[in-house]
Structure 1
Amino acid sequence: MAQDVDVLALENQVCFALAVASRSVIGLYRPVLEPLGLTHPQYLVMLALWQQDPRSVKELGAALQLEPATLSPLLKRLEASGLIDRRRSAADERRLDVTLTEAGRALRSRAESIPQAMIEQLGMPVAELQAMQASLTAIIAAATRSNG
C-alpha cells in the first residue's frame, strides 16, 4: 500500500528548499567577498556593471530584479566605497546613470577567482551546477509570469 504524501510537510516544499539553498550558498560567498569589501548584494550589482557599464538605475534594477528602494542603498554604499559614480544623464535629467570608477573596474580582476572558488566550496560537478542554474532560471521565469 502506497503511503500518502503530506503535501504540507516542510521537506516537501519547494519554497523551503529554495530559501535554505539560497541562505547556504550566499553564506559561502561571505568570506570570499569580505576581502573585496563587498556584501553579496553589492557583488551582484558589480557583476551587472562589469557586464555593462554604464547603466541607468532603472536598467540595473531590471537586470537585478530589484526595486529602487532596495537598489538605492546598495548604490549609495558602493559609491561611498569609491567603486561607482552616480550622475544625472546629460541627455535626460530624469535618468540617473551608474558608472564604474577606476577602482570599480580594477576590482573585477580580483573577483575573477570567485566563481571557481564557489565551485570548489560546493564540491559539485560544473555540469550539475549549470543544470541547476538553468532550472532556477526557469523557476524565476515561471514565477515572474505568474506574478504578471
Structure 2
Amino acid sequence: MRLHLQRVRNASVVVDGETVGEIGEGLLALVGLSREDGPDLPGTRTWKTMLGKMLDLRIFPDEADKLNLSLRDYGGEILLVSQFTLYADCRKGRRPSFHLAAQGDNALQLYERLVSDVRGMLPGKVQEGRFGAMMDVSLTNWGPVTILLDSEEF
C-alpha cells in the first residue's frame, strides 16, 4: 500500500461534473494498493501503522507556526482518493505498466475497508472520491507539504 499525502488548504473531486468529495484544510490522500496487498492486510501491524502515520504525522502548524500538530490535533479533514497509478512500473519503454497494482474486487474491498477504518478514526471529517471513476482532483497544496508512505518501509 502506498499513501501519497498532501497537506491542503482545500481539495475536491469531481466525477462527470458532480462534486463527490470536498474538504477544507487537511490532507488529500492518494491511495495506491498493490497486487501484493491481500484481503488479510486490514488489521495487520502494517495496516495500523500506515493509517496511524497518515492521521498522526505532525505536519500541521501549532500556534507558533511550527509543524507540531497531527491532522487529528489540528482538527483537519481528509479526502481519500483511490490511485492505482501509484504502482506504475516505468522501467521499460515509455508506457507505464500497472501490473503491480491491485486488481478488481480485491482493490475495491481494500479501499472500502480503508475508508471505513479512517471514518472510524476521524468521524465526520472524511470525504472520498469514487473508486474506479475518471476523476478530476483539484487541490491547493499548503506549504507545499507532500509525503509518501509505503507499506514496504513498515
Normalised by the length of structure 2, the TM-score is: 0.28
Where relative contact order (Cα < 8 A, 6+ residues apart) is larger, the structure is: 2
Higher alpha-carbon Rg: 1
Q: Compare the two structures and name the one with the higher helix fraction.
A: 1
